[in-house]
């Protein structure tokens, strides 16, 4: 998933600049021109430290900051990285495909590393290799908390194995970096969650609110065998909308807008997904007597028609990106003054809102990936021999659907755009299972379809603002900064963000409306991102992640919000 995180951050990365920030945790950050914040769209919350569990929290913080604890965390992460638990596209069922068996090895290692968790919590193996842990609370009127992660990694391309500084499944720690596939995505979350629970158990903590943990086995290839099955299991056991909150892997924190101001960016929305297949079929024949337009030639017209009509950008006040812009304008040291003024005015001025959208795109054109549905013609195929007219030709367009749109809207728009192409070449037109008035069919047939059956609407948007759940989540993030040895003297801002990719959370939408995708680690703790050679992370960042997960569990256990 980290590759999706990086893609979502790319269009913002250019905004970093060397501008100094205000004093630690003081809001608003002072910027040139004395611009004021738009509190309604980017509220900030004080650090929420556990109170009823204050003594336990302090004791655990002391343990987490000890050298022995770091050594054990390094050992645990190294151990699980050494298990090559790759998931592949197109894998058969867990009973048919032997490549799943490596997850049995990973289970054994997790049980050896975290025996108290496996001995104390109710552990269910869903679809043989996905894992669900349930820690029953004493108050059944409180909705449970759900923590999720995935145990699988992307495969290593054999041709690149020799290009790694250290072997891709070595789990080697060189004193700074821990190397190997999964060291960043997503085995640190697996280790962090189980370590947090282990130490809570060792201190005889008994939860008031039920805690559920779910680990998938194929997030990197769609989640159909892991998170999908976990989601079905949990919905059958607990019901629809039965969880208070879900916390999954997601965005790191970083100095996103320059200076020394840290922005923590939990994803509260995700784009939708659709692979469009456009296929033209015609009569074949010998290429020495060709028609005026072959199937490939007509197909080229369809490509041109789509690319000539990109999706319009929209900045909506109800959208997550509007919140991102407001947070940037209020607290980002390097944000241009023009953006600050327009952002403030755009709250209730439509002309200013339109001007703000233009200014954001001028500021960085890559922001268009968040403001609109994107389309990319990625695959094309046609013809089998140079002297034979192609009888079939097709291309596939990858779409990432904007939050304000849907699969149905995209399909209707596509059919309308390509209808003139069908008419021009006298092609019949079938769009997503329905016949559309176009040509007679004498010239052939144009068919629009879902290429791989993976259509997905944009994710439901998580409520933010001054809602109690968001206040608790944001306050916990701030508390983790406040307690961190490395970050306690830094200015921090929590900003809802919009993910361009998708995570396993798409299989859990029915369980809660409060879904957060957040990885509590600084971006600099990743050596080379993920899904490429030389994946590595700094284990010291794992300690901060464990502390965050611990506070998250404790704060939710103390809270009375989100009851049945």
pLDDT at residue 2, rounded to an integer:
56
Answer whether 234's CB lies under 8 Å from 466's CB: no
pLDDT confidence of 368, banded at 50, 70, 90? very high
- 442 has pLDDT over 50: yes
pLDDT confidence of 11, banded at 50, 70, 90? very low
Predicted confidence (pLDDT) per residue in 511-553, tens digit? 999 999 999 999 999 998 788 899 999 999 999 999 999 999 9
pLDDT confidence of 349, banded at 50, 70, 90? very high
Q: Which residues of 430-452 are buried (b: 16+ CB within 10 A; e: fewer)?
A: bbbeeebebbeeebbbbbbbebe
The mean predicted confidence, pLDDT, of the chain is 93
pLDDT confidence of 250, banded at 50, 70, 90? very high
When comparing pLDDT for 160 and 18, which is higher? 160
**Residue 456 to residue 513: CA distance in whole angstroms:** 17
Out of 152, 270, 557, 562, the active site residue is: 152
Residues of the chain with CATH 3.30.70.360: 272-312+372-450
529: left (phi over 0), alpha (psi -120 to 50) or beta: left
* CB-facing half-sphere around the CA of 2: CA atoms within 13 A: 31
pLDDT at residue 194, rounded to an integer:
98
Residues of the chain with CATH 3.40.630.10: 2-10+42-88+100-270+459-558
Q: Which neighbouring-strand residues pair with 435?
A: 430
User: Could you give the 3-state DSSP secondary structure of residue 278?
Assistant: strand
**Residue 368 to residue 384: CA distance in whole angstroms:** 38
Closest CA to 40 of 323, 267, 269, 329: 323
Q: What percent of the chain has pLDDT over 90?
A: 91
**Residue 12 to residue 468: CA distance in whole angstroms:** 28
432: left (phi over 0), alpha (psi -120 to 50) or beta: left
Interacting residues of 512 by C-beta distance below 8 A, sequence separation 6+: 143, 146, 241, 242, 243, 244, 245, 246
**Residue 226 to residue 233: CA distance in whole angstroms:** 11
pLDDT at residue 530, rounded to an integer:
82
**Residue 498 to residue 402: CA distance in whole angstroms:** 10
Asked whether the whole model's pTM tops 0.75, one would answer yes
Tell me what the mean pLDDT of segment 375-397 comes to.
97
**Residue 508 to residue 229: CA distance in whole angstroms:** 10
- 293 has pLDDT over 80: yes
Is position 450 annotated in a ligand binding site?
A: no
Q: Is residue 260 flagged as an active site residue?
A: no
How far CA 168 is from CA of 100, 274, 406, in Å, comes to 19, 32, 39
* The two structure tokens encoding residue 100: 């799943």
- 27 has pLDDT over 70: no
Among 34-43, 312-321, 441-450, 517-526, the range scoring the smallest mean pLDDT is: 34-43
- 179 has pLDDT over 80: yes
Answer whether 15's CB lies under 8 Å from 332's CB: yes
Please tell me the class of the 2-10+42-88+100-270+459-558 domain.
alpha beta
Is position 39 annotated in a ligand binding site?
A: no
Tell me what the mean pLDDT of segment 239-250 comes to.
98
Backbone angles phi, psi at 553, to 5 degrees: -65, -45
Tell me what the mean pLDDT of segment 402-417 comes to.
98
3-state percent helix, strand, coil for the chain, nearest multiple of 5: 40, 20, 40
pLDDT at residue 125, rounded to an integer:
98
**Residue 40 to residue 25: CA distance in whole angstroms:** 19
pLDDT at residue 294, rounded to an integer:
97
**Residue 355 to residue 324: CA distance in whole angstroms:** 16
pLDDT confidence of 1, banded at 50, 70, 90? low
Is position 248 annotated in a ligand binding site?
A: yes
Answer whether 157's CB lies under 8 Å from 523's CB: no
Closest CA to 50 of 61, 66, 64, 63: 61
Question: What residue ranges in 372-425 does DSSP mark as E strands?
Answer: 374-382, 392-401
Q: Which residues of 387-405 are buried (b: 16+ CB within 10 A; e: fewer)?
A: eebbbbbbbbbebbbbbbb
**Residue 251 to residue 459: CA distance in whole angstroms:** 16
Interacting residues of 214 by C-beta distance below 8 A, sequence separation 6+: 130, 131, 132, 133, 146, 147, 148, 227, 230, 234, 508
How many of the other CB atoms lie within 10 Å of CB of 157? 11
* The two structure tokens encoding residue 198: 């282990």
**Residue 297 to residue 287: CA distance in whole angstroms:** 13
Q: What percent of the chain has pLDDT over 70?
A: 93
Tell me, what DSSP letter sits at residue 378? E
User: Could you give the 3-state DSSP secondary structure of residue 387?
Assistant: coil
How many of the other CB atoms lie within 10 Å of CB of 298? 22
* The two structure tokens encoding residue 39: 């509190």
Out of 186, 218, 219, 270, the active site residue is: 219
- 206 by Cβ neighbours in 10 Å (0-12 / 13-18 / 19+) ranks as exposed
Answer whether 336's CB lies under 8 Å from 343's CB: no
Residue 291 CA to its chain's centroid (Å): 48
Answer whether 24's CB lies under 8 Å from 490's CB: yes
Q: Is residue 219 flagged as an active site residue?
A: yes
**Residue 194 to residue 246: CA distance in whole angstroms:** 16
Q: Which neighbouring-strand residues pair with 388?
A: 286
Answer whether 395's CB lies under 8 Å from 377's CB: yes
Is position 220 annotated in a ligand binding site?
A: yes
Q: Which neighbouring-strand residues pair with 60?
A: none
pLDDT at residue 529, rounded to an integer:
79
**Torsion over CA: 514, 520, 524, 525 (sign):** negative
Is position 426 annotated in a ligand binding site?
A: no
Question: What residue ranges in 368-499 does DSSP mark as E strands?
Answer: 374-382, 392-401, 427-431, 434-436, 444-450, 491-494, 497-499
Q: Which CATH number fits domain 272-312+372-450: 3.30.70.360, 3.90.550.10, 3.30.465.10, 3.40.50.460?
A: 3.30.70.360
pLDDT at residue 14, rounded to an integer:
37
């Amino acid at each position: 998933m980290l590759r999706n995180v990086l893609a979502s951050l790319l269009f913002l990365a250019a905004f970093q600049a060397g501008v100094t920030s205000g004093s630690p945790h003081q809001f608003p950050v002072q910027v040139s021109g004395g611009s004021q914040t738009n509190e309604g769209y980017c509220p900030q919350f004080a650090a929420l430290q556990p109170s009823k569990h204050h003594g336990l929290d302090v004791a655990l913080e002391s343990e987490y900051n000890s050298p022995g604890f770091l050594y054990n965390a390094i050992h645990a992460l190294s151990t699980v990285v050494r298990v090559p638990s790759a998931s592949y596209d197109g894998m058969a069922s867990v009973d048919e495909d032997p490549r799943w068996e490596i997850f049995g090895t990973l289970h054994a290692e997790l049980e050896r590393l975290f025996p108290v968790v496996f001995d104390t919590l109710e552990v269910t193996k869903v679809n043989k290799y996905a894992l669900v842990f349930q820690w029953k609370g004493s108050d059944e009127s409180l909705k449970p908390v759900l923590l999720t992660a995935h145990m699988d990694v992307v495969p290593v391309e054999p041709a690149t194995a020799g290009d790694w500084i250290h072997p891709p499944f070595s789990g080697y720690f060189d004193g700074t970096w821990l190397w190997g596939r999964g060291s960043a995505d997503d085995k640190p979350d697996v280790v962090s969650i189980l370590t947090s629970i282990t130490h809570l158990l060792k201190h005889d903590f008994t939860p008031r609110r039920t805690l559920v943990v779910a680990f998938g086995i194929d997030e990197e290839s769609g989640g159909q065998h892991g998170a999908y099955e976990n989601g079905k299991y949990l919905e059958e056991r607990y019901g629809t909308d039965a969880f208070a909150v879900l916390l999954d892997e997601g965005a790191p924190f970083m100095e996103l807008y320059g200076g020394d101001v840290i922005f923590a960016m939990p994803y509260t929305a995700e784009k939708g997904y659709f692979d469009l297949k456009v296929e033209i079929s015609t009569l074949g024949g010998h290429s020495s007597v060709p028609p005026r337009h072959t199937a490939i030639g007509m197909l080229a017209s369809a490509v041109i028609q789509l690319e000539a009509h990109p999706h319009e950008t929209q900045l909506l006040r109800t959208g997550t990106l509007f919140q991102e812009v407001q947070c940037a304008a209020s607290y980002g040291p390097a944000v241009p003054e023009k953006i600050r003024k327009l952002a403030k005015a755009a709250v209730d001025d439509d002309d200013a809102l339109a001007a703000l959208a233009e200014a954001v795109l001028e500021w960085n054109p890559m922001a268009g990936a968040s403001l609109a549905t994107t389309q990319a013609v990625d695959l094309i195929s046609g013809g089998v021999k140079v002297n034979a007219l192609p009888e079939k030709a097709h291309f596939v367009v990858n779409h990432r659907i904007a939050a304000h749109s849907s699969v149905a809207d995209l399909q209707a728009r596509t059919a309308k755009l390509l209808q003139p192409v069908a008419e021009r070449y006298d092609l019949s037109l079938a769009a997503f299972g329905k016949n559309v008035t176009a040509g007679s069919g004498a010239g052939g047939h144009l068919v629009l379809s879902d290429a791989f059956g993976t259509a997905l609407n944009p994710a439901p948007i998580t409520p933010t603002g001054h809602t109690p759940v968001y206040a608790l989540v944001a306050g916990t993030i701030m508390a983790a900064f406040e307690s961190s040895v490395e970050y306690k003297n830094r200015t921090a801002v929590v900003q809802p963000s919009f993910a361009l990719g998708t995570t396993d959370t798409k299989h859990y939408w029915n369980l809660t409306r409060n879904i957060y995708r957040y990885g509590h680690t600084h971006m600099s703790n990743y050596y080379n991102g993920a899904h490429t050679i030389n994946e590595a992370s700094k284990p010291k960042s794992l300690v901060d992640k464990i502390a965050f997960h611990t506070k998250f569990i404790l704060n939710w256990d103390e809270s009375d919000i989100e009851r049945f």
